[in-house]
Amino acid sequence: MSESTPDLRALGDDVKSSWHRFLDSFEPMRADLYRYCRHLTRSPWDADDLAQDTLVRAFVTLGTMFSELPSPRAWLFRVASNLWIDRARRSRREVMVEVAQDAGAAGDPRGAREAAGALVVRLSPQERAAVVLKDVFDFSLEEVAEALGTTVGAVKAALHRGRGRLVAADEEALRAPAPGVLDAFCDAFNARDLERMTAVLLDAATVEIAGVVTEYGPEAPKDPRTGSLAGTLSPILVDDRGGVGPEWLAGYIPSVPRCEVREHRGAPILLFWYEHADGWRVRTVMTVDTEGDRIARLRNYFFTPEVIAEVCEELGVPYRVNGYRFWLG
C-alpha cells in the first residue's frame, strides 16, 4: 500500500466505533425520533427511512461542529425537520410540474391553476413540523424555534396557520410486488434453500438490514459468515459480530424462523415468525420491491422496534422486538 492510499479497513473500524458510540448516546431519543418522523410521513416505512437518514446526517454533521449542542434532543429533531422539509419541498415542486404538464397536455390551463391552488392551501412542511412538535411532543415555543432553526415569532405564525388548516395526508398508494416472487422467496426460505432464495434476486438487487448493513447483488447476502440472508436463516444468537441482547430474548427458543407473506395497507410484506415458550411470535418484517418476476430490493426491519410494533399491531399478530443495538459492548 502506497503512502497516498488510505487504509480503508482501519478507517472503517474507526468509523464503526464512533458510529456505535453515537448511537449509544442517542439511543434514549430513538423512540421519540421515530414517533416524530411517523407524524410527518405517511407510513411506518417512510418514517423509519427518515429516522435512519436523520441519524446518519446527525452523525456526519456532529463531526463538523465546533460548538456544544445546547439541547441534543431539539438538535436531533432539527436535523429530522430539515431533511423532511427539503424532501417535501422537492416533492411538491415535482407534483406542481407534473400537474402543469398533465393539464397542458389536456389543453386545460384552468385545471392546472385549480390543482395548484389546492396544493397551496395544504399545510406547508414547516407548519406541519411546528404543529407536531408543539401539540404532540409538547415542545416549548423556544424549543420548536430551535428545532426548526427559526424565531419564536415565526413559530407562533406557523402554528396559527397550521392549526387552522391541518388535514390528514392521504395514505400513499403502494405498488404491490408480484405475488409469485414473494411466494417463491418464502417457499425457498422455509425450505432453508439459500441458493433458491438468492436466485430470485436481480443481479443489481439491494438487500438491507435497516440501520445495519447494505449489500449489493445476490452473492453478499448468502455469505455464510456475513450475509444478511444467511443470518436470517439462523437462530438469533450473539457472537463476535454482535447480536441481540439477552434482555430481549426471554422465552425465545433458538430455532430457525419461518416466513409468511401478508398484506399490509394494500401491499404484500414478509413476516418472520420465531418460536417462543408462549408460542410463535413475529420478530421482523421485510418490505420488497420487484422488477418483473425478480426482487430488486429487500429491506429487513429487525432492529427497528417501532416499525415491528406498529405493523404487527395493525395486522393483529403477536410479536417481540429486538432493541436497537447490533454490536457488542
Question: Would you say 181 and 269 are in contact if contact means Cβ atoms under 8 Å apart?
Answer: no
Q: What is the pLDDT of residue 207?
A: 92
CATH T-level assignment (fold) for domain 179-315: Nuclear Transport Factor 2; Chain: A, (3.10.450)
Q: What is the pLDDT of residue 277?
A: 97
Q: What is the pLDDT of residue 16?
A: 86
Question: Would you say 51 and 34 are in contact if contact means Cβ atoms under 8 Å apart?
Answer: yes
Domain boundaries, the chain: 8-165, 179-315
Q: How many CB atoms lie within 10 A of CB 229?
A: 23
CATH T-level assignment (fold) for domain 8-165: Butyryl-CoA Dehydrogenase, subunit A; domain 3 (1.20.140)
What's the grid cell of residue 107?
A: 389543453
> What are the 10-residue block averages of pLDDT along the chain, 329 residues in total?
68 87 92 94 91 93 73 89 80 46 46 36 68 84 83 83 57 52 95 96 88 88 90 82 83 94 91 97 94 89 96 97 81
Three-state DSSP class for residue 27 = helix
E strand intervals along 56-189: none
Question: Would you say 222 and 204 are in contact if contact means Cβ atoms under 8 Å apart?
Answer: no
Q: 4: buried, middle or exposed (CB in 10 Å: 19+, 13-18, 0-12)?
A: exposed
What's the grid cell of residue 251?
A: 422465552
What are the angstrom distances between the C-alpha of 118 and each of 121, 123, 169, 170, 195?
Answer: 6, 11, 13, 14, 51
Q: 170: buried, middle or exposed (CB in 10 Å: 19+, 13-18, 0-12)?
A: exposed
- Least Cα distance to 220 among 194, 188, 238 occurs for 194
The helix or strand, by DSSP H or E, that contains position 48, with its residue range, turns out to be helix 44-62
- Give me Rg for the CA atoms of the chain: 22
Q: What is the pLDDT of residue 165?
A: 62
Sort strands 294-300 and 201-209 into parallel, antiparallel or unpaired: parallel
| Torsion, CA 141, CA 143, CA 145, CA 151, rounded to 10 | 70
